[in-house]
Chains A and B, each alone.
Chain A
Amino acid sequence: SQQGEEDPQALSIQEGENATMNCSYKTSINNLQWYRQNSGRGLVHLILIRSNEREKHSGRLRVTLDTSKKSSSLLITASRAADTASYFCATGPTGANSKLTFGKGITLSVRP
């Protein structure tokens, strides 16, 4: 069953704008991760945020986590055409020996 659900399903913005993508989940998590997938390629890990963290930065990426609302957001600042890709959130449940569960993804298009 799908744990994380991303919103919106598709997003189209102009180069230079910020892109905000959201992920909601249903059960308690140990961590939440965001991945990027370029067309025809495998997924690439972007950032991991632990359940006891509220915000994390990596370059132009900012991830927030609100465990009370069971939601996370990924912000890409000053977007570039090269950011065009699909973005997935993946949740790591609590409990030992758990597996990540991936959402269905968000398609981001950045227009030059």
Chain B
Amino acid sequence: NAGVTQTPKFQVLKTGQSMTLQCAQDMNHNSMYWYRQDPGMGLRLIYYSASEGTTDKGEVPNGYNVSRLNKREFSLRLESAAPSQTSVYFCASSEALQGPGSYNEQFFGPGTRLTVL
């Protein structure tokens, strides 16, 4: 099993360009997440999908859109990239969200390093 895969690994964009980050998991997980990691800021949740067919905003959704294409795939789109979006992006998945009787670890992909010039 590959776990969580992300493409591309590295990307350089010019301000205003668009791109889509792809994520796929082969663990039959219901929930998927997109985070960004910046120095000194830890991980911040951009968007998440509790289950196939649903998506919700996280802590820092502005400038991003997502698509839960099917149970396996969850993509993140930057419509008009800005230098403030320079970051490392991680996709993650889990069996389900947290809750009473629901204790779920997250599995992370290797990340995409994005630079916006």
Q: Which chain B residue has the least Cβ–Cβ distance from A104?
A: B42
Please report the C-alpha to C-alpha distance between residue A44 and residue B106 in the assembled complex, in whole angstroms.
8
Query: Smallest distance from the beta carbon of B100 to chain A beta carbons, Å?
Result: 6
Give the docked Cα–Cα distance between A48 and B98 (Å).
Answer: 12
* 8 A Cβ contacts from A83-112 to B: 88, 90, 92-105
Given A48-B105, A88-B42, A104-B41, check contact A30 B98 (CB 8 Å): yes
Which residue of chain A is the closest to B50 with respect to CB atoms?
A: A97
Q: Are B90 and A104 in contact (CB under 8 A)?
A: no
Task: Give bound CA distance, A94 to B99, whole Å.
Answer: 6
Residues of A within 8 A of B41 (CB): 104
Using a CB-CB cutoff of 8 Å, which residues 94-111 of chain B contact chain A? 97-100, 102-111
Is A105 touching B42 in the complex (CB atoms < 8 A)?
Answer: yes
Chain B residues with a Cβ under 8 A of chain A = 4, 33, 35, 40-43, 45, 48, 50, 58-59, 90, 92, 97-100, 102-111
**New A-B pairs, 11, CB < 8 Å, besides A42-B111, A96-B99, A99-B48:** A1-B59, A33-B106, A41-B110, A41-B111, A42-B90, A42-B109, A42-B110, A50-B103, A96-B97, A98-B97, A105-B42
Q: What are 30 of the A-B contact pairs (CB < 8 Å)?
A: A2-B42, A30-B99, A30-B100, A30-B103, A31-B103, A35-B106, A42-B4, A42-B90, A42-B109, A42-B110, A43-B90, A43-B92, A45-B106, A48-B103, A48-B105, A88-B43, A90-B106, A92-B104, A94-B100, A96-B100, A97-B50, A97-B97, A99-B48, A99-B97, A99-B98, A100-B106, A101-B45, A102-B43, A103-B42, A104-B40
Chain A interfacial positions (CB closer than 8 Å to B): 1-2, 30-31, 33, 35, 40-45, 48, 50, 88, 90, 92-105
